Amino acid sequence: MIISLNWLADYVQIQAPTETLVERLLMAGLNHESTETVGADTAVDLEVTSNRPDCLGHIGVAREAALLFSRPLHVPDPRPLEGAGRVADSVAIEIRAPDMCPFYSARVIRGVRIGPSPQWLVDRLATVGVESVNNVVDVTNYVMLECGQPLHAFDLAKLRGGRIVVRRASEGEPFTAINHKTYALTGQMCVIADAERPVALAGVMGGADTEISVATVDVLLESAQFAPLAVRAAARGLVLQSASSYRFERTPDPAAVEWASRRAAALILETAGGTLAQGVAAAGTLAATEATIWLRPGRVAEVLGIDVPAARQHAILTGLGFVDTARGDQALEPGRWRAPTWRRDVFREIDLVEEIARIEGYDRVPEDRSITARPVELSAREVTVRIASGTLVEAGFCEAMTRSVVSESLEGTASPWGAAPPLVVQPALVRGADRLRRTLLPSLVEARAGNLAVGAPHGELFEVARAYVARSAGGADHASPVEEPLLVAFVTGGGFFAAKGVVEALLERLGVARAGGRIECRPADLELFARGRAAELVLTRGTAAPERIAVVGELSAAVLEAAGTAGPAAGGEVRLDRLEFAVGVDRTLRRPSDYPAVERDVNLVVAETVPWGEIATAIHAAAGPMLEHCRVVQVWHDAERLGAGKKSVVVALRLRSDSGTLSGDDANRIVQAVIENCRQAVGATLRA
Amino acid sequence: MATVALDSFVAELDRLQADAVAALAVAADADAVERARVEFLGAKSGRLKAIQKLLGGLAGPDKPAGGRHFNEAKQAVAAALEAAQGRVAGAAATAEALDVTLPGEPVRLGHLHPITQTIRRVQEIMGRLGFESVDGPEVEDQWHNFDALAIGAEHPARDPLDNFYLAVAQGADPLLLRSQTSTVQIRVMERRKPPLRIVSLGRVYRPDTADATHYPMFHQVEGLFVEPGTTMAHLKSVLRLFASSFLGGDVHVRFRPSFFPFTEPSVEVDMEWGGRWIEMGGAGMVDPAVLAAVGYDPDEVSGFAFGLGVERIAARRYGVADIRDFYRNDVRFLEQF
């Protein structure tokens, strides 16, 4: 809302410098955007919050200023002189959509002379950035900017049938606005029609056919109430926002409907001449509420933490136009206040407290109150996330933040976390990106590709974020229809084992095994990954059913191609929301043995099809607690020396006891047990 | 017995000494020095050994002088040898020394995103003030995103063009990506009774066109404090403690009246930064309607809430002029934090 200071001075005389005025208004809730000199005037642009339509007119701002500077406020009381003829003889009004237009009124001025506005009017409008059109249109704009009530003037001769019909637009109904563009309306919009066709889009814009022109002789002056939703539907739906729609969306002062009509009529008579017909043509019922609000003594102090004397509270509310209807001793008894018509936003006690606070000034509120100490701990989820991101940082990854909503090309592969198709949002987050992602990996591959393309030092990235998976029907009634797995995902230029190593390090850091979680790694066939080069990690805990908690692998050609990456990449994705159980478990020291270790290598020959996991299980089962560590040294294939379909697995065993030095014989017995168990379990033979 | 003249003996010694010093001086490496040592000082057939044999042929009275000359020459040659040995050893040592100005083997360091670092810092400060961090879903229902926050059915904030609604089956309660993290505060209040001090944080979504100061996905940190007897003075004091800790020094805060559906009174919060008032976020006393919506009695408890835009404070803190840079995921950007 741009305010002309010359104009403001019509209602209140402020002696203070402009900076002081602006500062006080700022601290009372009218944010200062800018101050500009326009000719001999000053334009001050103020940001008005959506709850204050009263400040979308000069009088509303003047009322605030008058109270802040303890100056009297002068609001004109227009009494235009009525002449010959009655409005009712010129026009009949009918409201067919009272939900969209509760009240409509019109005055008629006959015999005007359309021409340029007087200089004072041109100047004031220029200060606030409104171009002068002609004397009648300028008056309607002027009055709107004065009191916040939008008006519209029609050329009465162009209205067919002497009728005004306020109705819902029909679906697809054409309407040509003053801007000479034609719009197709919808049933959510409200029109002003004459006997035949729409002549205005209610509260938004007038029609081209009936606008005031140099040929206009008789004027119909509209002043009405329109419902915010209908005005918003039209203004937004047609992208046709106007100063009028802006105000109607915020509900102007109902009392200003009549005041603005009289004020504009008086100014038209003054600037364009003519004769005002007697009376007002009106239909509907003015929607106005007069809230009665109780204000308890002491309530202000309870909310603000400062004492504002009862007399001061009374002065503030009275200055803002509230009426004290109790007139008791407000220091002792609750006050009963009636809100002014222009303050629909104030209808509760807390609203009165806010009024008192903002005029009294928040700078009075102290900033040195103490609060009691309270211990807090990070939640298991927060700790889990911190351990996960900490591990990835330790491993040399940079944290990325990619969009939660992605394009179809990044959502083309099935998710490891649910079979449901992706959820779609409207509108798209950015162009083409309207799918809630069900996995983070494609986004990270895309970010990696971007890094490689610009020659960044590397593209080793991770992210902690949610995926979104529609729950299948039949879940718990109270559950959200969307599950949000909390994931840590990463992408690397290394191969499968580089990626698996990261996942293993992460699970180790989280202490999953220590907390009793058993992880099994299985081959997995997932669209995200290249065939035969991916695994799922399955968690078993207590009696709960085994559950996939991680996937890892070399990314498929399709994913790499969709992301536009140059070169291969591997990655993994881990469900942190399923691993929170691990962080609450305390660590207990297992003291390292003081005795020396015995190292033994064993060369086992097994069928190619036997996975390491089975060999390891057999080794661990046979070796018992003396096996401190077991490591694959080498796997080699040689059909000639090993036989077809065989492989050699060289395993290094480190044996150690907590209670004494292991002898060579002890070690040999353990190794023999291992070999024997491997023979039985996986058909291994010993290669000398 | 053949006699040797002292003069010729001394001349012989001088010649040997000069030859030895010259040879050792030009010996380029350990082998050359060793060859010279054998030639001049060799125990079996070195030239000094040969001259020593002549010592016995000197006339008796000449013997002391001859012996003295011999010892001087021997010491001079030994000194030259030592110098030469030291010189070639030093040369070898120089060849093996490291160019310590070469760079070390690079260790690839990971980095937390600056947005994460900013959030952690806020959490840490608020944690010291007794606020615990809470988390909630990003896909929300109408109740938590609007109704419980006193955003009525006709409020423009619910407009489909201003939210990311999910396309779901007809008749179902419309879902949307949350437009604020206050939703989490409602969820916590529904579950728990006061006293309550929480910060909710995470991603929120609003359909703004991306530019230097807007992005349709961003992060919020919102605090909520509900205890009997809470006033705006507590709000201002907590925010001042936060600002002082976050910005360093004794920072003052300023409230300007504002409007939010879920707080009353509502204020914009400015903090003094570099001699200027910087807008940090919104705050206010929890609206009684919100307290009532979650089953609290507004006459029994009161509370305050505040919200900070993480991108805004991170951008200011790190001198990031375009907040889209936070989402470009360029390692050259991320490595600087």
User: Does B195 lie in the same domain as B71?
Assistant: no
> Are A397 and B328 within 8 A, CB to CB?
no
- Closest Cα partner for B133 from B195, B205, B181? B181
User: Does B27 lie in the same domain as B79?
Assistant: yes
In sequence order, which residues have a C-beta less than 8 Å from that of residue A18 and are 6 or more positions away? A5, A35, A42, A44
Q: Which residue has the tokens 């409007």?
A: B259
Among A49, A353, A393, select the one facing B110 at the smallest CB separation.
A393
Token output for A46 = 């103020």
User: Does B123 lie in the same domain as B92?
Assistant: no
Q: Are A29 and B258 in contact (CB under 8 A)?
A: yes
* Whole-angstrom distance, CA of residue A315 vs CA of residue A355: 11
Residues of A in contact with B195 (CB under 8 A): 374
> Are B232 and A362 within 8 A, CB to CB?
yes
> Does A158 score more than 80 pLDDT?
yes
In sequence order, which residues have a C-beta less than 8 Å from that of residue B184 and are 6 or more positions away? B134, B135, B136, B198, B200, B202, B222
> Are B331 and A458 within 8 A, CB to CB?
yes
Residue-range domain boundaries for chain A: 2-68, 82-284, 292-362, 380-584, 598-686
* Whole-angstrom distance, CA of residue A130 vs CA of residue A115: 17
Is B185 at the interface with chain A, CB within 8 A?
no
Q: Let me know if A160 is exposed, middle or buried by CB neighbors in 10 A (0-12, 13-18, 19+).
A: middle
> Are A350 and B302 within 8 A, CB to CB?
no
**What is the structure's pLDDT at B46?**
85
pLDDT in tens, A37-72: 999 999 999 999 999 999 999 999 999 999 999 999
A637: which DSSP letter? Answer: -
* Whole-angstrom distance, CA of residue B35 vs CA of residue B204: 84
> Does B191 score more than 70 pLDDT?
yes
Q: Are A653 and A674 in contact (CB under 8 A)?
A: yes
**What is the structure's pLDDT at A480?**
76
pLDDT in tens, A469-480: 998 765 555 567
User: Does B21 lie in the same domain as B158?
Assistant: no
CA dihedral A87, A92, A98, A101 (to 10 degrees): -50
Task: Give CATH superfamily name and number for A380-584.
Answer: Bira Bifunctional Protein; Domain 2 (3.30.930.10)
User: Does B170 lie in the same domain as B290?
Assistant: yes
Which residues numbered 144-163 in B keep a CB inside 8 Å of some CB on A?
A: 154, 156, 159-161
Average pLDDT over residues A201-219: 96
User: Does B175 lie in the same domain as B60?
Assistant: no
Q: Which residue has the tokens 């600037």?
A: A271
**What is the structure's pLDDT at A394?**
97
- Closest Cα partner for A227 from A100, A128, A317, A351? A100
> Does A156 score more than 70 pLDDT?
yes
Q: Is residue B106 part of a domain?
A: no
Average pLDDT over residues A14-24: 96
B4: which DSSP letter? Answer: B
**What is the structure's pLDDT at B323?**
94
The H or E element that residue A244 is part of is helix A243-248
Helices A349-360 and A310-319 pack at an angle, to 10 degrees, of 90
Residue of B nearest to A371 (CA): B234
> Are A357 and B115 within 8 A, CB to CB?
no
> Are A365 and B132 within 8 A, CB to CB?
no
| Range A444-447, long-range pairs (CB < 8 A, 24+ positions) | A444/A400, A444/A402, A444/A489, A444/A490, A444/A491, A444/A571, A445/A491, A445/A555, A445/A559, A445/A560, A445/A563, A445/A565, A445/A569, A445/A571, A446/A402, A446/A410, A446/A562, A446/A563, A446/A564, A446/A565, A447/A400, A447/A402, A447/A491, A447/B329
The H or E element that residue A264 is part of is helix A256-272
User: Does B39 lie in the same domain as B175?
Assistant: no
* Whole-angstrom distance, CA of residue A192 vs CA of residue A149: 17
Cα angle B220, B221, B225; round to 5: 140
Residue of A nearest to B210 (CA): A430
pLDDT in tens, A595-622: 999 999 999 999 999 999 999 999 999 9
* Whole-angstrom distance, CA of residue B71 vs CA of residue B76: 9
The correct CATH number of A292-362 out of 3.40.50.300, 3.10.20.600, 3.30.56.10, 3.40.50.920 is 3.30.56.10
In this structure, what are the phi and psi dihedrals at residue B172, rounded to the nearest 5 degrees? -75, 155
Is B50 at the interface with chain A, CB within 8 A?
no
> Are A376 and B164 within 8 A, CB to CB?
no
Q: Are A87 and A3 in contact (CB under 8 A)?
A: no
Residues of B in contact with A436 (CB under 8 A): 139, 166, 177
Residues of B in contact with A468 (CB under 8 A): 138-139
**What is the structure's pLDDT at A597?**
94
The correct CATH number of A82-284 out of 3.30.460.10, 3.90.180.10, 3.40.50.720, 3.50.40.10 is 3.50.40.10
> Are A369 and B231 within 8 A, CB to CB?
yes
Q: Is residue B1 part of a domain?
A: no
Cα radius of gyration rounded to whole Å, chain B: 45
**What is the structure's pLDDT at B169?**
57
CA B300 → CA A226, A331, A334, B265, distances in Å?
A: 40, 22, 19, 18
Token output for A347 = 């209808």
In sequence order, which residues have a C-beta less than 8 Å from that of residue A415 and are 6 or more positions away? A438, A439, A467, A469
Residue of B nearest to A246 (CA): B156
Q: Are A563 and A407 in contact (CB under 8 A)?
A: no
How many folded domains does chain B comprise? Answer: 2
**What is the structure's pLDDT at A479?**
67
> Are B255 and A362 within 8 A, CB to CB?
yes
Residues of B in contact with A382 (CB under 8 A): 123, 133, 135
Q: Is residue B74 part of a domain?
A: yes
Give percent above pLDDT 90 in chain A: 88
The correct CATH number of A598-686 out of 3.30.70.380, 3.40.50.10420, 3.10.20.30, 3.40.50.10490 is 3.30.70.380
Among B108, B167, B238, select the one facing A458 at the smallest CB separation.
B108
Among A26, A228, A481, select the one facing B154 at the smallest CB separation.
A228
> Are B329 and A49 within 8 A, CB to CB?
no
User: Does B156 lie in the same domain as B78?
Assistant: no
Q: Is residue B291 part of a domain?
A: yes
Q: What is the mean pLDDT of chain A?
A: 94
- Whether A2-68 shares its CATH topology with A380-584 is answered no
Give percent above pLDDT 70 in chain B: 97
**What is the structure's pLDDT at A476?**
54
Q: Which residue has the tokens 């306020």?
A: A166
pLDDT in tens, A73-118: 999 999 999 998 999 999 999 999 999 999 999 999 999 999 999 9
Token output for A304 = 């603000």
Chains A, B: CB contacts within 8 A come to: 239
Distance from CA of A446 to the nearest CA of B (A): 10
Which residues numbered 63-102 in B keep a CB inside 8 Å of some CB on A?
A: none
Among A304, A371, A466, select the one facing B138 at the smallest CB separation.
A466
User: Does B266 lie in the same domain as B324?
Assistant: yes
Domain of B310, CATH number, reads 3.30.930.10
Reported CATH class of domain A2-68: alpha beta
Token output for A502 = 């990261």
Q: Are A345 and A293 in contact (CB under 8 A)?
A: no
Q: Structural domain of residue B308, as residue ranges? A: 114-334
* Whole-angstrom distance, CA of residue A488 vs CA of residue A441: 10
* Whole-angstrom distance, CA of residue A576 vs CA of residue A392: 13
> Does B13 score more than 90 pLDDT?
no
Distance from CA of B150 to the nearest CA of A (A): 13
> Are B175 and A451 within 8 A, CB to CB?
no
> Are A426 and B167 within 8 A, CB to CB?
yes
If one compares A31 and B154, the residue with the highest pLDDT of the two is A31
Average pLDDT over residues B324-337: 96
Average pLDDT over residues B20-27: 87
Q: Is residue B178 part of a domain?
A: yes
Q: Are A648 and A605 in contact (CB under 8 A)?
A: yes
> Are A367 and B327 within 8 A, CB to CB?
no
Q: Are A110 and A285 in contact (CB under 8 A)?
A: no
* Whole-angstrom distance, CA of residue B140 vs CA of residue A677: 55
Count Cα atoms within 13 angstroms, Cβ side, for A245: 22
> Does B62 score more than 90 pLDDT?
no
Q: For residue A425, list its beta bridge partners.
A: B166
**What is the structure's pLDDT at A49?**
93
Average pLDDT over residues A130-146: 97
> Does B95 score more than 70 pLDDT?
no
Q: What confidence category does residue B115 fall into, taking pLDDT thresholds of 50, 70 and 90? A: very high
Q: Which residue has the tokens 């419980």?
A: B148
Count Cα atoms within 13 angstroms, Cβ side, for A604: 33
Is B335 at the interface with chain A, CB within 8 A?
yes
**What is the structure's pLDDT at B86?**
85
**What is the structure's pLDDT at B250?**
84
User: Does B138 lie in the same domain as B82?
Assistant: no
User: Does B241 lie in the same domain as B161?
Assistant: yes
> Are B257 and A27 within 8 A, CB to CB?
yes
> Does B92 score more than 70 pLDDT?
no
In sequence order, which residues have a C-beta less than 8 Å from that of residue A88 and are 6 or more positions away? A279, A281
* Whole-angstrom distance, CA of residue A190 vs CA of residue A182: 16
* Whole-angstrom distance, CA of residue A216 vs CA of residue A110: 9
Residue of A nearest to B111 (CA): A398
Among B135, B166, B257, select the one facing A28 at the smallest CB separation.
B257
Buried b / exposed e over B38-51, threshold 16 CB at 10 Å, is: ebbbeeeebbbeeb
User: Does B277 lie in the same domain as B152?
Assistant: yes
Q: What is the identity of the amino acid at A86?
A: R
